[in-house]
Chain A
Amino acid sequence: MIQFNDATLCFGSTKALDHCSLEIKSGEQVALIGPSGSGKSSLLKTITSENLLTSGSLKIDGKKLNSVNSKELKSIRRSIAYIPQDLALIPNIKVSQNVSLGSVGQENTLTTLKNLTFASKKRLDKVYTILQEVGITDKMFHRTDSLSGGQQQRVAIARAIFQNATYLLADEPVSAVDPTRAHSLLDCLTGIARDHGFTLICTLHNLEYAKKFFPRLIGMRAGSVSYDGLSTEFTERDFNALYNLDYTDE
Chain B
Amino acid sequence: MRSTISIIQMNEQLHLENSFWSWRKFVLLLFLFLFVFCFKELGFQFTNHSPGSQPWKTAGKFFSAALNPSFTDQNPSLPADATSFLNRLGTNLLNTLRYAFIAMSLAVPAGLLLGLISSRSWWKDHSSRANLSLPLKLTFGFFFTVIRFFTTFIRSIHELIWVLLFFSMIGDSPLAACIAIALPFAGTLAKVFSEIIDEQDDTASNHMLYSGAHSLQIFLSTRFTQALPDLITYSFYRLECAVRASAVLGFVGIETIGLSIKQSFQNLYYGEVWTALYLLIITIVIFDIIGRAIRKRLNIAPTSDLASEVDSVRALERNAPSWPLLKWIAISLGFTSILAWFVGPELNTYHSHLTRWERTQQFFKDIIPEPVKDSGNFVDAIPWASDLWTAYGAEALFSTLIIATMALLLAALFSYMIVPWASRTIANHHPFRTPSPYNKMTKLHQFGWSLVGHFTRFVFIVSRSIPEYILAYLLLSILGVGVWPLVLALALHNFGILGRLWGEIIENNNQVTAKHIHLNSGSRLQAYGFGILPASSNRQLLYIFYRWETCIRESTVLGMLGISSLGYYIHIESANFRYDAMVFYILLGTIVIFISDLLSVFLRAKLKDAG
A142 near B: Cβ within 8 Å?
Answer: yes
Give 1 or 0 for each of A42-85: 1 = CB within 8 Å of chain B CB.
00000011100000000000000000001000111110111010
A88–B206 CB distance below 8 A: yes
Contact of B210 with A48 in the complex, beta carbons under 8 Å: yes
Q: Out of A84, A88, A109, A138, name the residue touching B220 (CB < 8 Å).
A: A109
Taking Cβ atoms with an 8 Å cutoff, the residues of A that contact B are 48-50, 70, 74-78, 80-82, 84, 86, 88-94, 101-102, 104-109, 112-113, 116, 121, 124-125, 128, 137-138, 140-146, 163
User: Which residues from B are CB-within-8-Å of A49?
Assistant: 210
- Contacts A92-B301, A106-B212, A146-B303 known; 8 new A-B pairs at CB < 8 A: A78-B212, A104-B217, A125-B313, A128-B316, A138-B310, A141-B316, A142-B301, A144-B301
Query: Is A102 within 8 A of B211, CB to CB?
Result: yes
| B313–A124 touching, CB < 8 Å | yes
A217–B610 Cα distance when bound, in Å, is 46
Residue pairs across A and B with Cβ atoms less than 8 A apart, 22 shown, are A75-B212, A84-B203, A84-B207, A88-B203, A90-B222, A90-B226, A102-B211, A104-B217, A105-B213, A107-B217, A108-B214, A112-B217, A113-B220, A116-B221, A128-B313, A137-B308, A141-B316, A141-B317, A142-B320, A142-B321, A143-B301, A146-B303
Is B51 in the interface zone, CB < 8 Å from A? Answer: no
**A84 closest partner in B (C-beta):** B207
- Per-position contact with A for B305-317: 1 when CB-CB < 8 Å, else 0? 0101011010011
Distance in Å from the Cβ of A31 to the closest Cβ of chain B?
A: 21
Identity of the chain A residue whose Cβ is nearest the Cβ of B303 in the assembled complex: A146
* A50–B317 CB distance below 8 A: no
Q: Which residues of B contact A77 (CB under 8 A)?
A: 209-212
Instruction: Tell me the bound Cα distance from A203 to B213 in angstroms.
Output: 25
Closest B residue to A100 by CB, please name it: B221
Say whether B135 faces chain A, with CB atoms less than 8 Å apart: no
CB contact under 8 A between A105 and B313, given known A90-B226, A92-B225, A92-B226: no
* CB-based nearest B residue for A83: B207
Known contacts A70-B131, A90-B222, A141-B316; is A101 also within 8 Å of B301 by CB?
no
Given the complex of chains A and B, what is the CA–CA distance between A231 and B320 in angstroms? 44
Contacts of B301 in A (CB 8 A): 92, 142-146
Chain A residues within an 8 Å CB radius of B217? 104, 107-109, 112
* Contact A88–B313 (Cβ < 8 Å): no
Q: Is the interface of B mostly helix, strand, loop or mixed?
A: helix
Residues of B close to A116: CB separation below 8 A: 221, 225
Whether, in the assembled complex, B471 has its beta carbon less than 8 Å from a beta carbon of chain A, the answer is: no
Instruction: State how many angstroms separate the Cβ of B69 from the closest Cβ of chain A.
Output: 44
**Bound complex: CA A146 to CA B213 (Å):** 27
Decide: A88 and B212 in contact? CB cutoff 8 A: no
Contact A92 B221 (CB under 8 A): no
Q: Are B204 and A88 in contact (CB under 8 A)?
A: yes
Closest A residue to B210 by CB, please name it.
A48
Q: B208 on the interface (CB 8 Å rule)?
A: yes
Is B131 a contact of A90 with CB atoms below 8 Å?
no
* In the complex, residue of chain B having the shortest beta-carbon distance to the beta carbon of A141: B320
Q: Bound complex: CA of A110 vs CA of B527, how far in Å?
A: 52
- Tell me whether A88 and B320 are in contact (CB under 8 A): no
Contacts of A93 in B (CB 8 A): 225
Query: CB-CB < 8 A to A89: which residues of B?
Result: 204
Q: Which residues of the other chain, A, contact B308 by a CB distance below 8 angstroms?
A: 137-138
Residue among B210, B216, B228 making CB contact with A109, cutoff 8 Å: B216
Is A121 a contact of B302 with CB atoms below 8 Å?
A: no
Q: Does B480 contact A (CB under 8 A)?
A: no
B218's nearest neighbour on chain A, judged by CB, is A104
| B229 contacts A by Cβ under 8 Å | yes
Tell me whether A92 and B212 are in contact (CB under 8 A): no
Residues on the B chain within 8 Å of A80, using CB = 210-211
- Sort A-B residue pairs by CB-CB distance and give the 4 closest, nearest first: A105-B212, A141-B320, A138-B308, A146-B301
Residue picked from A76, A104, A112, A143, most chain B C-beta under 10 Å: A104
Contact check, B210 vs A82: say whether CB atoms are below 8 A apart.
yes
> Once the chains are docked, how many angstroms separate the CA of A88 from the CA of B131?
23
Closest CB-CB distance, A61 to chain B, in whole Å?
14
Which residue of chain A has the shortest Cβ distance to B316 in the bound complex? A140
For the complex, give the distance between the alpha carbons of A116 and B222 in Å: 11
Query: How far, in whole Å, are A93 and B229 apart by their CA atoms in the complex?
Result: 10
- CB pair B211–A113 under 8 Å, yes or no, is no
Q: Which residues of A contact B321 (CB under 8 A)?
A: 141-143, 146
Write the nearest CB–CB distance from A181 to chain B, whole angstroms. Answer: 17
A74 to chain B, nearest CB (A): 4
Query: Do A82 and B317 touch across chains, with their CB atoms under 8 A apart?
Result: no
Residue of A nearest to B131 (CB): A70
Is there an interface contact between B313 and A81, defined as CB atoms closer than 8 Å?
A: no
| Residues of chain A contacted by B303 (CB below 8 angstroms) | 142, 146
| A125 CB to nearest B CB, Å | 6
Give chain A residues whose Cβ lies under 8 Å from the Cβ of B302. Answer: 143, 146
* Chain A residues with CB below 8 A from B317, complex form: 124, 140-141
Known: A142-B301, A143-B302, A145-B301. A74 touches B212 (CB 8 A): yes
Complex Cα distance, B221 from A82, in Å, reads 18
**CA distance in complex: A99, B210 (Å):** 16
B294 CB to nearest chain A CB (Å): 14
Determine how close the nearest CB of chain B comes to the CB of A60; give it in whole angstroms: 13
